[in-house]
Amino acid sequence: MYHGGLSHTHSHHIIMSKSGEGNVSWNKDVKEGRYERKDSLFRRWIEADPDAEFPAEAGRYVIYAAMACPWACRTLAMRELKGLTEVIEVNIVDVVLPDTGWTLEAKDEGATGDTINGRKQVSEIYYAADPEYDGRFTVPILYDKVNDTIVNNESSEIIVMLNSAFNALSATPEAAALDLYPAELRDEIDEVNERVYHSLNNGVYKCGFAKTQEAYEEAFHALNDTLEWMEDRLASSRYLVGSRFTLADIRAFVTLIRYDPVYVTHFKTNKHRIRELPNLWAYTREIYQMADGKIASTVNFDHIIRHYYCSHNSVNPTGIYALGPDPADLLKPHNRDSLPADPLPIVHDP
Ligand SMILES: N[C@@H](CCC(=O)N[C@@H](CS)C(=O)NCC(=O)O)C(=O)O
C-alpha cells in the first residue's frame, strides 16, 4: 500500500509548534520570504478490508472541500470518476476564507454548510478529531461519521484511497475498474508528481505568497521551467505519463484550470498564460471535457475567482476580482485525438 512520503501516525504534536498568529497560512508559513507549505497531519487510511480500522463503507465518510481549492478539487474529481457520488457525501465551505479560518455557514450559492454536525467552522472538525490539534485547518478533509474523526487531510493520499479502496461500491463496473495509479506506472507517475507538486501546484503559491523579490523570482523560474517542460512533453504524449490518463493528470489539471483566471494576475505568474501554450491548453480542455463533464462538474469558477481575490488581503487589499478570460473557451474542440490514448473505462452513469 502507498503511504506517501510521511508516516501517518500521530506525530503532529512533535512537528507543530504553537503560534500566536492567525490561522491562515499565507502570512504564517513564510520563512526568509519564502512560502513553505506545512505537511498535513492526519494520515490514516480507508481500506477495502471490512476488518480495517477504517473500512470502506457507503454513507460513512464525508469530504469537506472548498470548490476554490485545487487540493480539495483533486478529491472531488476522483469521487466523480470512480462513481462514488452516492457513497461519499460532500460538504462545501463558504467562498471567502477569513483570517479565522474556513466557515461552514452556507453563505454562498454552492456552499452547503455542515450537513452532518452543523458546525460553523472547519476548525471545529479538527478539534473534534483532536482537542490538542495545533496544525493548519485545511481542506480537503476526509471525515469519518462513525468516530467523529478525521481519517486523512492530505489530498495526494485521499486520491490514492479513492482510486482503489471503494471499488466494491462504485456505481458501475467501469468506474470500479478505472485505475488511475496502475502499479506498472507508479514510479513514473510519482516522478512527474514530484516535479509538478513543487514547481507548479505549490509553485504558484510560492510566487503569490513570496515576501521577497528573490523568493518570488526563484519560484517564478522553477514554475515556468516546468510549464515549458510540460508543453514539450505534451507535444508527443497525450497525457503526462504517456497514453494513459493517470493521477498525474488530475493533479496537474486542478492548477492549470485556475491558472489564467487567477494565478497569472493574482499570483504574478505572468510569463505564460495556459491559453498561449497550445499543447497545455488543448490538454486542459480535453480533461475538462472528459467523462461526460464529470471533471468539469468539480470546477466552479465563481468560487475559484472570488475566493482567491477576496481572501488574500495582503496580496489584494481591495478585494476586486478580475473577470477574464471567458471560460466558454474550455468547450472548444481539443483536437488531441491524433495522439494515442488508452481508452478511459469510465463514462456513462447506470
Ligand atoms: N497538502 C494539503 C494542502 C491543503 C491546503 O493547503 N488547502 C488550503 C486551501 S487551497 C487551505 O485549506 N488553507 C487554509 C489555511 O492555510 O489556513 C493537501 O493537499 O490536502
In the chain, what are the domains?
Answer: 12-177 (3.40.30.10), 183-331 (1.20.1050.10)
Which residue's CA is the closest to the ligand 1 atom numbered 5? 138
Closest ligand 1 atom, residue 26 Cα: 16
In the chain, the amino acid numbered 95 is V
% of the chain surpassing 90 pLDDT: 85
Residue tagged active-site, from 64, 126, 205, 288:
205
Q: Binding site for glutathione, residues?
A: 102, 136-139, 154-155
pLDDT digits (tens, 9 = 90+) for 192-211: 999 999 999 999 999 999 99
Radius of gyration, CA atoms only, the chain: 19
Cβ within 8 Å of residue 265, ≥6 positions away:
322
**In which band, very low, low, confident or very high, does the pLDDT at 23 lie, cut at 50, 70 and 90?**
low
pLDDT of 332 > 90? The answer is yes
The stretch 315-327 carries a mean pLDDT of: 96
What's the confidence (pLDDT) of residue 10? 33
Exposure pattern of 18-48 as b/e (b: 16+ CB <10 Å)?
A: eeeeebbbbbebbeeebbebeebbbbbbbbe
pLDDT of 35 > 90? The answer is no
Give the relative orientation of helices 247-258 and 278-293 as an angle to the nearest 10 degrees: 110
What is the residue-wise DSSP string for 233-260? HHHH-SBTTBTS--HHHHHHHHHHHHII
64 beta partners:
91, 141
pLDDT of 14 > 60? The answer is no
308 is catalytic: no
73 is catalytic: no
